[in-house]
Amino acid sequence: MASWPFSPEHDELRKSIRAFVETELAPHASEWEQQRDFPDAVFRRMGELGFLGLTYPEEYGGGGGDYLCNVVLAEEMTRCNSAGLAMAVAVQTDMAVPPVFKFGTEEQRHRYLPSAISGHKIFCLGISEPDAGSDVAAVKTTARKVDGGWRINGRKTFITNGRRADVMTLVARTGRDAGHQGITLFLVHTDTPGFEVARELDKLGMHSSDTAEITLTDVFVPDEAMLGSEGEGFYNISWELQGERLVGAAGAIAGARRTFESALEYAGRRTTFGKPIGRHQAVGHALAEMATEIEAAQQLVYAAAWKVDRGEYPVREISMAKLLTGRVAWTVADRALQVFGGFGYAADSPVSRAWRDARLIRIGAGTDEVMREVIGRIEGL
As annotated, the active-site residues are 244
Query: Each residue of 131-165: b (16+ CB within 10 Å) or e?
Result: ebbbebeebebbbeeeeebbbbbbbbbbbbbbbbb
Q: Using DSSP, state whether 183 is helix, strand or coil.
A: strand
Residue 16, CA atoms < 13 Å, CB-side half-sphere: 14
User: Is residue 156 within 8 Å of 166, Cβ to Cβ?
Assistant: no
Phi, psi of 55 (to 5 degrees): -105, 0
Distance CA 326, CA 288 (A): 19
Return the closest-CA partner of residue 331 out of 248, 263, 235. 263
Distance CA 241, CA 127 (A): 10
Q: Using DSSP, state whether 133 is helix, strand or coil.
A: coil
